[in-house]
Structure 1
Amino acid sequence: MNNFTFYSPTYFAFGKGEENHTGEYVKRFGGSKVLLHYGGGSVVRSGLLGRVKESLVNAGIEYLELGGVMPNPRSGLVYTGIERCKSNGIDFVLAVGGGSVIDSAKAIAAGARYDGDFWDFYEGKQVESALKVGTVLTIAAAGSEGSGDSVITKEEGMLKRGTGSDVLRPMFSILNPELTTTLPAYQTACGAVDIMAHVFERYFTNTPEVEVTDRFCEAVLLTMVKEVPRVIQSPDNYEVRANIMWAGMVAHNNLVGVGREQDWSSHVIEHELSALYDCAHGAGLAVVFPAWMTYVMKHDCNRFAQLAVRVWGCSMNFADPEATAKEGIERFKSFLTAIGMPINFKELGAMEEDIPKLAAKIGLKAGETFGSFVPLTTQDVENILKLAL
């Protein structure tokens, strides 16, 4: 196990009706004037936004609204939010929605404390200061409610990039599983794949002797394998929604990733798919991950075989662990298909002729690689995407 530091200060309020205490939490964590950030549509129709506003008023918290966040959140709205924060003395950004809203809120929070272009942070500059952020979560998927990460799409060139810093971890996050029961099955499944992908990016490591986090990873994956088909069949099942919602947080606050080298190349590849086609992030990951697994499997067949046995219920073939590894990948693909996810370009709506463009947009120079489990070149990315055809 590698040396590590782990800092996860977010206060979680989990359960029914917790959104009605939003104002109390904002005040508790030092907020006095809030930018209320959200997407639109469902948070308005469901009455959630109204309940949050009422809670803020009851707590004596001033707020300005900024709605309109889109899936794969855009830089244009971030610039608008930064300007509003700076010109109105905002000291707290409250995100009401899913990962896209939370990621946009974090970008605004960082940019509001910075004299330059916030996009600098998404091109490698470290975020050292930010406004405080809180969240009211409506989708179990991105895990942004418990992480210091944010991903934004820049309209100019449609570049999708991420940043991360502990100062971007939310001060508090309200998680009420009831708020996820109205999600369509497809959106629920996309979120589930995102959760599993966050675990996979940590699970596939070159760091030896990480049994405790291996087992943490496998526990989250086993929960998803059990609960996702159940929630597709019974979307109003609170207990199932609760298990999935907490799994989403655990998958990405890095509890399952400490002390081990992490990969993240599949996320980098998928970001170009969702930037170009504006597809759901989870759907793109459902296409990329099995292809990536197939491409890199021989680097460490035993790790793939371990996953196959411990999570997918395969029998270990000690004479041929590669066969067990391949069986695990096939069971993963069958799981994705069973929950309504695409597993190839055709099902996603992607086009073969775009593969060179998708690979090139990652921006690698000659001789550069990315990822750590198996470092990848631009040609490797093209090869992986061809496996996804």
Structure 2
Amino acid sequence: MLNFNYSIPTKIFFGKGQVDVLEEQIKDYGTKVLLTYGGGSIKKNGIYDRVTDILNQNNIEFYELSGIEPNPDIKSVREGVKICKDNNVDLILAIGGGSTIDCSKAIAAGYYYDGDPWDLVSKKAPVTNALPLGVVLTMSATGSEMNSGAVISNRETKQKLHIMHSNLMPKFSILDPTYTFTLPKEQTAAGIADIMSHTFESYFTLNDGAYLQDRFAEAILKTCIKYGKIAYDEAENYEAKANIMWAAPNAINGLVLCGKNAIWSVHGIAQELTAYYGLTHGVALAILTPVWMEYVLDDERVDKFAEYGVNVWGIDPNKDKYEIAKEAIEKTSEFFTSIGLPKSLREVGIGEENLEKMAQAAIDDKGGVIGNFKPLYYDDVLEILRRAL
């Protein structure tokens, strides 16, 4: 096991009615808040009214940034930064899922920067500080409610880049599973694929001796498999939604990554599908993951896939290890299909027209190679995209 440092300073308030802590949590940081949210579903399901009632009752002044897009665009970040600077905001309160939270993190960093916030995302300038951020979560997927990273798109340049800094960690996050009851089924499914992919990216490593972390990862995967179809089919099943909601942040808050050397592969390819086509991130991951698994399976990596098959899917350990590995990959694909996710890029209207551009873009800012479970170069990424068609 490798050396590691680990700290998760975010306060988590989990369960029904935990929004009641909002007033006391906000007042630890000030009395002027920017509310950020997406397309307005929180106004239909009552979450917006509950939050704003709390703010009004406690004389907390608030401003609003609505309409944050899936795969948030830098334009929304710029707008949010302006609102915060113009009104001397003390804290940002993100009400939504990963897109809203990620946008809010970039706004929080941009508040302390005099230039274009895209400079921070593109690493032209460092993040030096950030406004405090609180979260009221409405979708289980990215785990952004309990980590220090964010992904921001620039639709003009067809880029989707990652920003990370310890100051971007939310100060508190309210996780009420009932707030996911009104989520469309397709978003529930995409979120589950995202959680599983985060876990896979840390799980599939070679000979690092991080036994405990791999058992954590397998528990998260088994939780998604056990409750994913139930959460998809039964919108108001509290047990299923609660387990999925808690799996999401633990897949990407560093817990399963501690002591391991994991450089992600599939996410880097999936981000290009989003940048070029606006494809939902979790959908892209569901299509690419089984293809990637099949592509990287070889003598050096078969033992890890067999371990996955036995420990996660309960496949007979006495079978040939390649048989176990291939069965595990097939079961992974079948699970995604069972929750309504597509198996190919053509199913979502994507053809061959941009495959070469996307393959090149996936490796451009990574030294020409992506991932380290099996390093992938341009030809490898292109072949995975072609096989995903």
Does the 8 Å CA contact 1:317/1:323 hold for their aligned counterparts?
no
User: What amino acid sits opposite 2:24 in the alignment?
Assistant: E
Residues in 2 aligned to 1:149 and 1:310: alpha-carbon distance in whole angstroms: 30
Partner amino acid for 2:33?
A: V
* Counterpart Cα distance in 2 of 1:166 and 1:286: 29
Measured in 1, the distance between the counterparts of 2:345 and 2:170 equals: 35
CA gap 1:54/1:367 in 2 versus in 1, 3 angstroms: closer
Which residue is equivalent to 1:19? 19
Structure 2 residue matching 1:353: 3-state secondary structure: coil
Residues of 1 paired with 2:137 and 2:152: CA distance? 18
Within 5 Å, give how 1:273-288 maps onto structure 2: 273-288=273-288
| Map 1:243-254 → 2, pairs under 5 A | 243-254=243-254
Which stretch shifts more, 370-379 or 77-86? Answer: 370-379
- 1:240-273 per-residue CA deviation (whole Å, 9 max, x = no partner) reads 1111101111111111111101122211100111
Q: Give how far 1:121 is off.
A: 2.6
In structure 2, what is the Cα distance between the partners aligned to 1:235 and 1:47?
A: 16
Equivalent in the alignment of 2:306: 305
| Letter of the structure 1 residue corresponding to residue 294 of structure 2 | T
Which residue is 1:321 aligned to? 321
Number of equivalent positions = 387
CA deviation after TM superposition for structure 1 residue 66, in Å = 0.8
How far apart are the structure 2 equivalents of 1:97 and 1:366?
31
**Contact 1:345 1:352 (C-alpha < 8 Å) held by counterparts:** no
CA distance, structure 2, for counterparts of residue 309 and residue 121 of structure 1? 43
Describe the SS at the equivalent of 1:380: helix
Q: Which residue of 2 aligns with 1:88?
A: 87
Distance in 1, matches of 2:63 and 2:367, equals 48
Pair 296,184 (structure 1): closer, same or farther in 2 beyond 3 Å: same
Whole-Å separation in 1 of the counterparts to 2:135 and 2:314:
37
The letter for the 2-side match of 1:34 is V
Residue 239 (structure 2) pairs with residue 239 (structure 1): yes
TM-score normalized with structure 2 length: 0.96
State the partner residue of 1:69: 68
Closer, same or farther: CA 78–267 of 1 in aligned 2, 3 Å: same
Per-residue deviation at 1:110? Answer: 0.5
Alpha carbons of structure 1 residues 187 and 366: separation in structure 2 relative to 1, 3 Å: closer
Give TM-score, length-normalised by structure 1: 0.96
Corresponding position: 1:337 with 2:334: no
Runs of 4+ in structure 1 displaced over 3 angstroms? none
Alpha-carbon offset, residue 70 of structure 1 = 0.8
Separation of aligned partners in 2, 1:163 and 1:107: 8
Distance 2:365 2:83 in 1: 38
- Cα 1:258–1:375 change in 2 (3 A) is same
Letter in 1 for 2:121: Y
Q: Cα 1:335–1:55, aligned 2, differ >3 Å: closer, same or farther? A: same
Aligned residue type for 1:310: N
| CA-atom RMSD in angstroms | 1.6
1:135-162, CA deviations, whole angstroms, 9 ceiling, x for partnerless residues?
Answer: 0000011100001110011122121111
Q: Which residue of 2 aligns with 1:170?
A: 170
- CA distance in 1: counterparts of 2:223 and 2:365, whole angstroms: 40
- Could you say what secondary structure the match of 1:352 adopts? coil
Q: 2:368 maps to what in 1?
A: 368
| 1:95 Cα offset (Å) | 0.2
Tell me the secondary structure at the aligned position of residue 16 of structure 2: coil
Q: Is the 8 A contact 2:112 2:128 kept in 1?
A: no
Matching residue's letter, 1:65 = E
How far 1:198 sits from its partner (Å)?
0.7
Q: CA-to-partner distance for each residue in 1:76-108, whole Å, 9 max, x for gaps?
A: 010011111112111211100010000000000
Please tell me whether the aligned partners of residues 27 and 59 of structure 1 are also in contact (alpha carbons under 8 angstroms): no
**Using the alignment, how far apart are the partners of 2:14 and 2:84 within structure 1?**
28
Structure 1 residues 126, 254: CA separation in 2 closer, same or farther (over 3 Å shift)? farther
Match of 2:44? 45
Structure 1: segments with no counterpart, 5+ residues: none
Contact 1:24 1:56 (8 Å CA) reproduced? no
Shift of residue 23, structure 1, vs aligned partner: 2.3
| Superposition deviation, residue 294 in structure 1 | 1.1
**Cα deviation digits, residues 141-200 of structure 1 (max 9, x gap):** 110000111001112212111111221110000000001011121111110000111100
Moved more, 166-175 or 360-369: 360-369
